[in-house]
Structure 1
Amino acid sequence: MMDALVDHATQTIRAGSKSFSAASRLFDPDTRRSAVLLYAWCRHCDDVIDGQVLGREQAGAANTAQERLAELEDATRRAYFGESMSDPAFAAFQAVALKHDIPQRHALEHLRGFAMDVEERRYLRIEDTLEYCYHVAGVVGVMMAIIMGARDEPTLDRASDLGIAFQLTNIARDIIEDAAIGRCYLPADWLAEFNISPQQLGDSRHRPAVAVMAKRLVDLAEPYYVSALQGLPALPPRSAWAVATAHGVYREIGVKVVERGERAWDSRTFTSGADKLRLVARGVWQVWDARRREPRPRPALFRRPR
């Protein structure tokens, strides 16, 4: 049964995130199994809310997004109660959550991020956007760190910062794609500065302004990326290497978005196979470098709730 769950989760991660799939291969086998099981649940919840399969194919769900969210919350609680899970994604989540004693509040905090989408939350200031980033990605970083054996709050804080950095990068890369499905994570005060409504983001005449706002997001992510590296010394060596590699791969996407400027949304921005190999090697140096550096303070603009 467990082998089947791991196979399902591995296929999910390969189809859903080439970047995370590449980095996850660096974990030791046991940590990798748990990481892909958690990823499968996160991906499943995201797709259920959007009525998709791996972010692409429409699943054709007839019930409303609110009903689907309620079903996810109910199934998550039942998984913690030890009930038998028929859905592979929830069976995977149950296995990893109970094995590593992941607090239920973290899983529900993650679902709160999807609730923000369902409620069509408006993000008035950048702090609101950062709150969303925490729920959909920062708390996932916390759960991943727990899988790697971290329990102390300072290390979990750094893991949260990495997830926030990842999500800021994702938002910058996907501004136009998100706008096409009626979603906007850019703060309203930024849009007002350029006199752009969320509905106008896809208009080519606004690409210069979109490029400026994307750069702001990438710049904002940078101190969170720096902060995240401070957590590497607390992780086992192979886990630290995997995290450092994922750090480099996602950060590079943001760098490429800024370099492409107004053309960043003509096609999807990604890191090539050669880029990933280079960043795998660089990850070894980052792990070593993090162990010899003095800890730096965390970004003050947003910090995960305790």
Structure 2
Amino acid sequence: MLQGGVALDRARLVKEAHRSIRKGSKSFSAASRLFDRETRERVWLLYAWCRACDDIADEQDHGRATGPVRLGTRLSPEDRLATIRTLTELAMAGETTGTPAFDALGQLAREVPLTDAMVEDVLAGFALDAADWRPRTQADMLRYCYHVAGAVGVMMAAVMGVAPDDDDTLDRACDLGIAFQIANIVRDLWEDDAQGRCYLPIEWLVEADIPPGEVTKPHYRAVLVPMVARACALARDYESSARVGATRLAFRQRWAVLSAANIYGGIAREVERLGAHAWDHRVSTSRGEKLSHVWSALEEARRLSDAAGDAPRPALSRRQLRALAKI
């Protein structure tokens, strides 16, 4: 692996990846500590690649603006997507990219059974954003959630040792990512609107008589609240399905996954609880709340046994959502 012409060994890649997750996500960094060392390091390697792809796509540094961009120096969304694809394809082919985050993916692919299809499903999410795509239907919204988060959940499951042919467990890992992304959508409505984006289905907005581009107008909050509650109900369905999949993991992996589910599920539940005040400030979880969620997850992880039939499957599964992309 090269950085400035110098080979990076696995230890250095892990160190760079750890730095990335600590800078980019306090929640995921905290949850990753619950894994055994080998899984934890692999999670960091996967995170580093995902974070780098996000940053290239949005021209940011760990989710934050990089400062003023000189006129004529900004790459087009299509060029940024091409950069992501080229570096990812090199990494998956076992080539050195010279970029630690992408070399981290290459290292990970040598250690766990990641498939090209898993990676392509994640890249498809960046392609949707590059095309300025917006969901028209509920199925469209869930398809978007699949590509930008559910597909990462599938890769996480592979990192935790789930076999590539264990479709039901992979489906449920995907379900957790979808639940996470729905939480992001309802929490970030105001921030997305400022960027000219809205990931709630257009059909929902039409039903509520909210004109395009006006979802955050104060006088629409009353009709926005039940729409957000509808999205949160979907998130709960996907989260419940994912908790069934967690029962099949080793204890420390189960604990980490349930901790993340509690933390992100808590965000969606808080947005729903706040109603019209959910966007007065950005909903987040304090350090104390995170610790409480981790403790609750520990108790849950200790008492869980395989309960594959205890939670119904959500309306659209991973395989159904993948099929939508081909229609």
Q: TM-score, normalised by structure 2?
A: 0.89
Does residue 44 (structure 1) correspond to residue 58 (structure 2)? The answer is no
| 1:257, distance to aligned residue in structure 2 (A) | 0.6
Q: 2: distance between equivalents of 1:168 and 1:193?
A: 19
Superposition deviation, residue 284 in structure 1 = 1.9
Report how far residue 209 of structure 1 moved.
Answer: 2.4
Q: Which residue of 2 aligns with 1:79?
A: 91
Q: Distance in 2 between matches of 1:186 and 1:294?
A: 31
Query: How far did residue 171 of structure 1 move?
Result: 0.5
- Give the counterpart of 1:149 among 142, 158, 161: 161
The correspondence of residues 48-197 of structure 1 with structure 2, limited to 5 A, is 48-58=56-66, 60=69, 62-151=74-163, 152-197=166-211
Alpha-carbon distance in 2 for matches of 1:116, 1:28: 35
Q: More helix by proportion, 1 or 2?
A: 1
State which of 289, 296, 305 in structure 2 corresponds to 1:291. Answer: 305
Matched, 1:21 2:33: no
C-alpha distance in 1 between matches for 2:201 and 2:313:
19
Q: Deviations over 1:212-251 (max 9, x none)?
A: 2222111111111110011122211111110010010000
CA distance, structure 2, for counterparts of residue 139 and residue 236 of structure 1:
21
Distance, in Å, in 2 between the alignment partners of 1:298 and 1:75 is 39
Partner residue in 2 for 1:223: 237
Q: Aligned with 2:318: secondary structure?
A: coil
Residues 262-295 of structure 1 deviation map (CA, whole Å, 9 limit, x = unaligned): 1111111111111111111111222234316452
How many aligned residue pairs are there?
306
1:199 Cα deviation after fit: 1.2
Per the alignment, do residues 29 and 191 of structure 1 end up closer, same or farther by CA in structure 2, a change over 3 Å counting?
same
> Which amino acid in the other structure matches residue 71 of structure 1?
T
Q: CA shift at 1:36, angstroms? A: 1.0
RMSD between aligned alpha carbons? 1.6
Aligned to 1:248: 262
Give the ranges of 4+ consecutive aligned residues of structure 1 lying more than 6 Å apart after TM superposition. none
Say which SS state the counterpart of residue 305 (structure 2) adopts.
Answer: helix
Contact 2:154 2:174 in 1 (8 A): yes
Q: Measure the CA separation in 2 of the matches of 1:138 and 1:97.
A: 19
Distance 2:236 2:203 in 1: 21
In structure 2, runs of 5+ residues without a counterpart are 1-8, 323-327
CA drift of 1:98 comes to 2.1
Higher mean C-alpha deviation, range 273-282 or range 25-34: 273-282
SS of match in other structure, 2:128: helix
Gaps in structure 1 of 5+ consecutive residues: none
The alpha-carbon deviation at position 201 of structure 1 amounts to 1.8
Alpha-carbon distance in structure 1 between the residues aligned to 2:220 and 2:19:
38
Contact 1:49/1:114 (<8 A) preserved: yes
- TM-score normalised to the size of structure 1? 0.95
Structure 1 match to 2:250 = 236
Counterpart of 1:2? 10
Give 1:260's match in structure 2, choosing from 270, 274, 291.
274
Equivalent residues of 1:111, 1:135 under 8 A apart: yes
Shift of the 176–147 alpha-carbon distance from structure 1 to 2, 3 Å rule, reads same
285 and 198 in structure 1: CA distance in 2 versus 1, 3 angstrom threshold: farther
